[in-house]
Each structure stands twice: as C-alpha cells, then as structure tokens.
Chains A and B, each alone.
Chain A
Amino acid sequence: MPVSLPRTGPRGRLLATSALLVLALTAVTSCSSSGGSSSADEDPNAKVTLTVNLFSDFGYADLYKEYEQAHPNVTIKENRADMGAHHQNLHAHLLAGSGTADIEAIEIGQVAGFQPEAGKFLNFLDNGVSKDQWVPSKTAPASSPDGKVLFGLGTDMGGMALCYRSDLFQAAGLPTDREAVAALMKDWPSYLAAGKQFLANSPNKDARWFDSGGNLFSAILAQAPQGVYDADGKVVVTSNPAVKQSFDLVAGAIKDGESAGIQAFTPAWDTGFQKSQFATVACPAWMSYEFKANPPTDGGKWDIARIPGGGGNWGGSYLSVPKSGKHTKAAAELAKWLTAPEQEARLFKEKGYFPSDQALWTQPDIAEHTDPLFNNAPTGKIFSQSARDLNPQPLGAHGAEIGTALGNALTSVEQGKADPDGAWKQALKDVDNIVN
C-alpha cells in the first residue's frame, strides 16, 4: 500500500485507498497468466473462506464484518493459539508445505526465525506494498536478508507504558496523578522501591505490586540497547550484562514478595485482573485488550503513566501470507487492508493497538487520543512518544523462546522452586537446548 496518500481526512483517504485497491486488484488479475501459483487463476468474485491464524486477540472482529460486507464473496475465519504453539505450528507447516492458514500472524520476537523461509511467503513488494509505510526497524526483520522480499506487513507495535490501579495507589498512600507517578518511578529501582512501600501500606493484602516476574523482565530488558541477540545474530544471554542485571533485579523483587506470580496470558491472569491481584502492569499498547476484557470486579480503575526507564518496545506483530495457502491473492488483499492506515488508526482508537504505521504517529486523532479505559489518559501521546524514542534491539531466530526460558526461570523463583542463581543456571541450560 503506497504511503504517499493525500492526507485529506478519513473519507477522502478511504476513497483513494479503495481506488488504489481496485487498481492493484485489476493489475494483479490482468497478469495472472504469468503467475505460476494456482491461486493466481482465482476468480476474484468466487466465494472464498479466508482463514486467519493469530496468537491473541488482534481486535479484528469488527473489521472482518466490514470487509465481508464490502466483499460479499469473502468469509473470514479466525483461529487463535497460544504464542509458542502458534509459531511452532507455523514453522512446522511451512516446512511441511501444508497446513498453513491463508493469513498467519508473526510476532516480532519470532520474526527473525522466519527470515530463512522468506521464500515460502508471498512477497508483498510484488503485491503493491511499499516499505515506506513503516519505519525500517519494523520492515527489516520481516524481510529477506537481501531486502528483496517483504513477507510481513506490520500491524501494531509495543510501545510501553506503566498501567497502575489508581484506587489501590491511593489506598496505599502513593500518588495517583500520572505525572507524579512517573516522577516517583523514574527508573526500575525506584519503581520496585515504591512497590515495597505499596506492600507495606496497602490495606488490600491480596494485591501484589506486579503480575508476573516474566512480564516485568520482558519490559525491563526491552529497554536495553541489546537483548538476547547482538547485531551479528549471536546469542548473548551470558555476555550481555543487561540480561543478567534485569534478571537479578526482577528476582530480587520476587524475593521481596512484590510479584503476584501469575503467569501472563493464562486464564489465571485474566482472573488476576478481575480480582485485583496486582496493582501495576508493565503494559505495551497491545495489552489494552486485556484490561478492557477484564475490568476489576471491585470497581477499581486503571490509569496509565510513562514507563520507568523510558521507551522500549515489547511485541507487536506482522501479518504474512504463506504461499501454501489456498487463496493467496485474496489473503494478500485482506492482509493489506487490515494493515492499511485507516484500519490501523481505528484499531488504536477503538481497541488500543498502537499502529506501526509511522505516518499515523503524527496524525492528530492518533497523537491526541485519550483512552477512557485508563481514566482518559493521553495514550496517543504516551505511545507515540515511546515509538519515536525506540532504539530497536537486534533480533534473532530464537529470541522469543529464549525469552520464554528466562521467564520460566523467574516463574520458578516465584514458585519457590529455585533460588535466583539456580534458576539462572537452569535458564542457561534451556537456552543451550534451544540454540543447539
């Protein structure tokens, strides 16, 4: 999708986009005879069911309906698995050459692992997409090493913030105002110190400071210049001091009883939100769906402030179209539409997913957006600032799995199964098994 659209307001842009879409579509069908794949011969009006495999809620339900109305021949079916299984399955199905859905989501921590298989995906650069829609740090990981294939369209990105329960803060004598909260917790040590204060003074003894050590670790490490990989694609878990430092910081907080020890993305986590089991969550933009779906049953309120340490990206995703899918052309159209600026903007305003589409960051309705879910906090300002501040970390094939292993190690500390040293050693063994 060319990004040089005249920015004349929503309606004009929609028209322009549709026109371009139609153009792109006709261009594609007119040269279909030269395309080798069977789907190139597809009749654009034939009835198709497009399958979309995601690993969490991307907030697409309303968009699907709209798309289906505009394209009466298209039916969209979404499936979700947990993140690990989703990417494992995608790998296995790509290798097998069958079993992929028409559209498959890929998470940024996993995307590097799919680079060697770039040839098995539809190249969006041949399908009317320009890389300029995104910042290079978003497109590079989803491209072949030579840059000639773009196999993932950026959806959202994970600019970070700190979500906190203002009612619990107030009861514990902590500031509730966003600026004051941000000022009190400039960095992670001061955040954890505030946590101790919270635990000591909060009348609600069931509420801990944060949800899970694994989550906090992801957030802290995401701010380092390097994560578990260096720029040469080498695993640097042991040689990058930031990894161990973040690990120790979180492990110490767990020892102090600050963690609720609830595994993120499990049913227990949802219940934790509902039952007010923690007072803060390091929250990337995409986590908003979680807050929306699970309001506290005690009537408590979430608010949102700048993240301690400032900046960083955690997560964010791509949509890809494997060539082994049944309807690659139709799937590409849908993927392009879902990641087009209009839809990205809607997803942010309605669902909270912050767009990776760079032109949107300065668009007033995005930059000045406030979210009633978070006490009308200026989420547009917070997340676009964090997106602009982003210093992208080098990525590697097994980044997400290594992250999971380190998170598991912290879980074992939470569970009292291991001391921080033992857990760290265990994690290194896991990393070794993952990499070799």
Chain B
Amino acid sequence: MAASTAAARGARAPARTAGHRWHRLDRTVSPYLYLSPFFVVFGVFGLFPMLYTGYVSFTAWRADRPGSEGQWVGLENYRKLLDDPFFWNAVKNTLGIGVLATVPQLLLALGLAHLLNYRMRGRTLMRLGVLLPNVTSVAAVTLIFVQLFGRDFGMVNWFLSLFGVDHIDWQAGTLSSWSAIAAIVTWRWTGYNALLYLAAMQSVPFELYEAAALDGASRWRQFRSITIPMLRPTILFTVIVSTIGALQLFGEPMLFSQQQDPTTGGSQHQFQTLALYSYNQFWGRFKYGYGAAISWAMFLLIVLVAVVNFLAARRMRGAE
C-alpha cells in the first residue's frame, strides 16, 4: 500500500505538474497494486506448488527413502500409473460417483427452481429451507449420513424396510456406496444450484411465455423450448462447477468409510476416489513422486471432463 499512500499524498501537493505525474503514476500502478495480493498468494501457494508437483511427479521421491528426493525418473511414474489397477479403479469410482452425484442433483435443482419460481406464500422460508444443507460442513454431514445409512440401525434402511426392502449394507456394494456418497453430495448442493437456476429463470422475459401460450404451447413445451434454452449459460456453468467438485471428492468417501484405513475407500476400494487414492499414496505410503503423478492425472481428467462438458453444451446449441 506504500505506493498508493504516496500517490494520495502527492495528489494533495500544490504543484500541478507534480500532481499530474502522481496522478499518472497512480493510474498506471494502482491496478497492479490492487491485484497483487491475489497474484502473490496464488503464485506462492497455488501456481508454484502446482508446478513443483509436476516436477516431483518425474522423480522417484519417497519420503521414507532418504536420498530419493530429486532422483529423476522421467515418465516412469506415469507409466506405472497406466498399469496400476488401483488408479483405474479410482478413475472409475470418481467418474461413477461424479455422474451419480451431479446428474440427479442438477435435474432436481432444475425442477425445484421451477417450483420456487411460482408466486407463493413463505417464499423466502422455502428458499432458506432448501439452501440450509449447503452451509453444513462435509465432515458434519458425512457423520450424520453414515448414521442414516447404517446397516442395522440406520434410518434409511428402516424406511426402506417399510416397503419390504431388506437391510442394505451401503458401504459394501459398489453401486450402493456410490449412491450413498452421491446422496450426501446431492443433499448438500441441490438447493444451491436451484437458487442459481431460479435467478436465471427470473430473468427470462415474460413476453416469451405469453407468445408461446398464444401459439398453444403446453406448460411442458414452454419449459422445454423457452426456459431450458434461456438457462443454458447457467446450466453450463453449474454442470462444469459441479463436475469439478465431484471429481475432487475427498471428505465424503473418506468419512463414509468404516474400514480401519479410511483412505482405502471400502473393503474392495469400491469408493476410493482419485483424491483419496492420491492422499493414500502420498500421506499413507510416502510415495511423493507417485502421489504427485496421480494429482496431475487427476487435474488432466478434470480439464478433460470440463472441455467435454463444454463441447457437448456447444453441440447442443448447434443442434437446435
């Protein structure tokens, strides 16, 4: 802030020319000054570690093997990754849970937003109600859901038993554990996304609906051919943001696990996500180099999925 203080002091100076110079300096320097905190923090704690991770991923560094730091192995870690069944299993789990956690969530949010858009009493209360789960923490929510999804005494199984469904061991199965974790994510984020959609819906001009109604379009037809297309930018945004979030799932699968080692993600790794696997390798097995390679692979996967989402959305637009 020193420079801007100096600039301010200069501005008050009587000499016009000096004032002018200060003003010019102020206008050229201030923007960078204001942006510097972010870029300094990001540079030191974001960009640098990220690049350093890239470097580490090319080394054989294991914290429990002295001298392995900086031992260059080229692409060896990545080659090992391709042959690692646990890595591919984690990719599968991450994508699977990702789909289960985002698709129903966003569809539900869309429907919810549509309903919230009606004129009604207690509007704010309803909105508060659906948003409330979003402010609770991953750790608290997962603890709660572990209990709700308990095999013998869980509320969910009790509820299902009313309909004659046998007790489900939610942690045991691939699909069941994915669903339970997806349910945690969905519960926390549906309301938030619904509010985003609601905001976008409210910016759709009423005249469009009036015209469509005059043409005899049904409500459903109006929803499909007016609301959805008008919401496309928001939908694209939420799809990308939720996908990125889902691909980074860590706390939910970790705390959902009831194994001795929670980083294994279930008895058969059935819900070990990429974030969990990289943590397992880095923190539990001290494989810094290999863990770094997993982190980068995970980042590439995120970028890939985001690009695919983006292109798919563009094609959707092209098709119409």
Contacts and interface: CB of A to CB of B under 8 A. Distances in A.
A8 interface: no
Interface string A393-407: 000000001001101
B264 A408 contact: yes
Contacts of B150: 268
Contact of A404 (B84, B171, B174, B261): B261
A405 B285 CA distance: 14
B63 A92 contact: yes
B267 A412 contact: yes
B29 to A, nearest CB: 40
Given A412-B267, A416-B172, A429-B85, A268 B259 contact: no
Given A268-B150, A268-B258, A408 B64 contact: no
B270 interface: yes
Contact of A415 (B152, B173, B263): B173
Looking at chain A's contact residues, the main secondary structure is: helix
A95 B286 contact: yes
B284 A271 contact: no
B262 interface: yes
Contacts of A416: 169, 172
Contact of B260 (A83, A417, A429): A83
Interface in A391-436: 401, 404-405, 407-409, 411-412, 415-418, 423, 426, 429-430, 433-434
Interface residues of B, number: 28
A264 B173 CA distance: 19
Contacts of B264: 404-405, 408, 430
B296 interface: no
Given A116-B64, A415-B267, A84 B261 contact: yes
Given A271-B153, A416-B172, A85 B268 contact: no
Interface residues of A, number: 37
Contact of A268 (B84, B152, B172): B152
A60 interface: no
Contact of A84 (B85, B152, B260, B267): B260
Contact of A92 (B151, B263, B270, B286): B286
A263 B258 contact: yes
A265 to B, nearest CB: 7
B86 interface: yes
Interface string B85-125: 11000000000000000000000000000000000000000
B283 interface: yes
B258 A271 contact: no
A355 to B, nearest CB: 26
B262 A85 contact: yes
A156 to B, nearest CB: 19
A55 to B, nearest CB: 10
Interface string B168-197: 010111100000000000000000000000
Contacts of A349: none
A412 B264 CA distance: 13
Nearest to B84: A433
Given A116-B64, A268-B150, A408 B286 contact: no
Nearest to B171: A415
Contacts of B259: 263, 404, 408, 411
Contacts of B263: 84
Shortest 6 CB-CB distances between A and B: which pairs? A415-B172, A84-B261, A411-B267, A412-B267, A408-B267, A412-B268
